[in-house]
Amino acid sequence: MTNSMSNLKGLLNKHYQISEFEEPIAMELIFDVRNDQLLDVLAFMKSIGFGQLSLLTCIDWIEKNEFQLVYILMNWDSGIHALVRTAVDRDNPKFRTIEHIYPGVKYYERDVHEFFGVEFDGNEDSFKHLFLELWEADRPMKKDFDPEAYSEKKYGMRKYRTEFPRKIGGE
Amino acid sequence: MAIGDKVEIKAWEKLGDFFRGRSIWMMWYCTGCGAIEMPPTMTSRFDMERLGMGPMATPRQADILLITGYLSVKTLRRVIYSYEQMQDPKYIVAFGSCTINGGIYFDSYATINKLDDYLPIDMYIAGCMPRPEAIMNAFNELQVKIRNNEVDGWKRYKKNYDQYKANQMKAVGEVFVHDEFHE
Amino acid sequence: MTDKLKEVKLFLGPQHPGMHGNYSVHMYVDGDLIKKARPMPGMLHRGFEKLMERKLWMSNTALIPRICVIEPDINEMVFAMGVEALAGIEVPEKAHWIRMMILEMARVATHLFALGGIGGPTGIYTSMYWAVAERDLILDLFEKLTGARVYHIFIMPGGVRKDLPENFLDDLSTYLESLEKKLPDFEELLLKHPVIHARTKDNIMLPKEVVHDLGVTGIGMRSATGVAYDLRKVKPYARYDQVEFDVPTATYSDALTRIHIKFAEIKQSIRILKQVIEKMPAEGPVRVPIGTGNALKIKVPAGMIYTAVESTRGEYGYFIVSDGSDKPYRIAVRGASYPQGLLGIEKYLPGTRIDDAPLWMDTMGVCSPEIDR
């Protein structure tokens, strides 16, 4: 078990010079790659047994002014989850699709586009809306979007009366 | 005239309500999380059919629409579409606290907070989610109210149609279902 | 002229007696055959990932069961596993066994519900009446244990909320015996029925080569590849390595095989529950506090983690990001039915008939609230 983890770390270090890893829990590995390395690293991971893409998601680091894309890969034979992270600019978020490596990522990319605004070149469906219909405000999952203010303005809240006939505790 | 004012009834409708109150057909639409307690209510353990209620597939022949839980904006568009296809007289029962004031999703950008603004509700059921016993109790009370000619949701809708439409357009935009092919 | 009349655009819409949950499939149909299909999710969208960022860590435990309506306990389990790993705390022994018991009871209840749900598309409504009544008895047990039928809020970071009530394990074993006596009736109704055979044999296949490409897990993966890829065996959590059970597999994935596998999994879950009843420790604490005592003020150390459990539909996971404050920074939900509900419908429904679309959703396991979140 730990054999395969150290094997994996060794291979990644040898081919791509990745040396910083986080291991938050057993059989899980997190590491960062640069934008230009990402497609090579993913194709390499697929060839060594990480055949399934579990999730593609995005984190909005508003202080550092970047979006961080996280690809979560799974190897069923050894039981290792690998999380591959890369950063994209927040003001002009563009990236390439990986649909030719993992076809299942098509709808995940539409999801990230719809909620964060990241454009994926090569995924021709990614501009079409999926979960939200007729949405004209800002992308909802960004940290500067306030859902409560939007809900109050567009849908209205139920008004409750705030003056009561008697005060609790006397008088 | 406000949305909540009552409307008067005709004499022959009293006879119709006597029969209608004993046989209500429910439209089959699970709109939200409360729908998971509908199969136990409909099937053999709590058995809604002994009250005379049964499921019906199409809105054209159904009497009652159950809003089981929260309504996201996308579902509201389709619920309005289906509600306007139902024939009079028709009733709406709203389950759960999400229809009253937004419930646990009061600060969500995708769910509505006050269902009363968009559709006329005849009965609310409290709970998150309401138990089958509470649902049966509510249906019983609804039937008693129908027989006493006290429910008039559909008449309020017709009388105050412009106000309801204005509220709906503000939240929903347009009541038309586009297809996913984006052609 | 007749070419233009050949294909019709049809919405197998949300308001349909055969549809499971609030989900819709838009398709082009030629007679009965589907030519093109697209899923339409989003009708149950509540913006959970945004709402979870606005609530405290412990307040989130009231919000998260509502993500997967049919099997809410898996949400609590992955959240608790993630927070415990980030905060570095160890859960007591009895809590692990209680968690395993709750997860297996939820698995039996959900599989029964799915087997009953086959009644809608195929017309065998008897299965719905029987299965939902059986599932209701499990919900009674949950009510005795946790206080609520559907949303339990029982598994929390640190353990479980309370200890077992008295005589609970006896009630559970009485129930399991009565369920085992009724299983042969279910087999005769569902697995040997000529109508089910005609509707599901050699129908709605999932080819073996595409399982990994799509990302399908759970019954769809095990019935096509023939290997026991189950997170309870590959990455055991909560004492699954101390009970014995088999994982049913097959190599030919048509709808009938998947129904057989669901059935076999119910039997294996009953086997696990019997072992849990024997091996449950009699005494011991069930919860440890995180931080210094006030549950509403806990701060989880900064870090990222992805935890997953095996639900009835596949690998279900949460990706939790914490920045050291009292609210989560980002939680992303990996719904187990995301691949088969979205890309699976687009690629593998064309070629089948209209009435097979709800059967795909039932046998592969498509639960719409966890796709829409």
Is B183's pLDDT higher than 80? no
Quick one: pLDDT at residue C98? Answer: 92
Quick one: pLDDT at residue C138? Answer: 92
- Give the closest-approach CA distance of A166 to chain C in angstroms: 32
What is the three-class DSSP state of C80?
A: helix
Task: Determine contact: A25 vs chain C, CB below 8 A.
Answer: yes
Most C CBs within 10 A among B25, B31, B38, B45, hence the mutation to make, goes to B45
- Burial class (CB within 10 angstroms; exposed 0-12, middle 13-18, buried 19+) of C291: middle
Q: Establish if A16 belongs to a structural domain.
A: yes
pLDDT tens sequence across A131-151? 887 888 888 888 888 888 888
- B3 pLDDT tier (thresholds 50, 70, 90): low
Is B144's pLDDT higher than 70? yes
pLDDT tens sequence across C79-95? 999 999 988 888 999 99
Q: Establish if B177 belongs to a structural domain.
A: no
Domains, chain C, ordered by start: 8-372 (1.10.645.10)
Q: What is the CATH number of the domain that holds B167?
A: 3.40.50.12280
pLDDT tens sequence across C12-45? 878 887 777 788 888 888 888 888 888 888 888 8
Q: Establish if A113 belongs to a structural domain.
A: yes
CB contact under 8 Å between A72 and C334, yes or no, is yes
Domain of A40 in residue numbering reads as 2-146
Q: Respond yes or no on whether ipTM tops 0.85.
A: yes
Q: Establish if A167 belongs to a structural domain.
A: no
**Cβ contacts of A169 within 8 Å, gap of 6 or more:** none
Is C216's pLDDT higher than 90? no
pLDDT tens sequence across C111-136? 999 888 887 788 888 888 889 999 99
Percent of chain A past pLDDT 70, that is, above it, reads 96
Chain A residues touching B114 at Cβ < 8 A:
155-158
Q: Establish if B178 belongs to a structural domain.
A: no
Work out the mean pLDDT of chain B and round it to a whole number: 84
Q: Angle at Cα A107 formed by Cα A104 and Cα A113, nearest 5°?
A: 135
pTM for the full predicted model: 0.90
CB contact under 8 Å between C85 and A81, yes or no, is no
Most A CBs within 10 A among C210, C306, C321, hence the mutation to make, goes to C306
Quick one: pLDDT at residue A1? Answer: 47
Sheet strands side by side (includes C33-40): C8-12, C24-30, C33-40
Is A25's pLDDT higher than 90? no
Residue keyed to tokens 């439209």: B27
Q: What does the H/E/C string look like for chain B?
A: CCCCCCCCCCHHHHHHHHHHCCCEEEECCCCCHHHHHHHHHHCCCCCHHHHCEEEECCHHHCCEEEEECCCEHHHHHHHHHHHHHCCCCCEEEEECCHHHHCHHHCCCCCECCCHHHCCCCCEEECCCCCCHHHHHHHHHHHHHHHHCCCCCHHHHHHHCHHHHHHHHHHHHCCCCCCCCCCC
Q: What's the rounded mean pLDDT across residues C340-346?
A: 85
Q: Establish if A170 belongs to a structural domain.
A: no
- C46 pLDDT tier (thresholds 50, 70, 90): confident
Q: Note which residues in 137-176 of chain B have CB less than 8 A from chain C.
A: none
Percent of chain C past pLDDT 70, that is, above it, reads 98
Quick one: pLDDT at residue B7? Answer: 57
Quick one: pLDDT at residue B1? Answer: 40
Q: What is the CATH number of the domain that holds A87?
A: 3.30.460.80
Task: Determine contact: C42 vs chain B, CB below 8 A.
Answer: yes
Q: Establish if A119 belongs to a structural domain.
A: yes
pLDDT tens sequence across C148-182? 889 988 998 888 988 888 889 899 999 999 999 98
Quick one: pLDDT at residue C32? Answer: 84
- B8 pLDDT tier (thresholds 50, 70, 90): low
CB contact under 8 Å between C116 and B104, yes or no, is no
Quick one: pLDDT at residue A170? Answer: 58
Count the domains in chain A. Answer: 1
Count the domains in chain B. Answer: 1
pLDDT tens sequence across C224-271? 888 888 888 888 888 888 888 888 888 887 888 888 888 899 999 999
Domain of B105 in residue numbering reads as 11-172
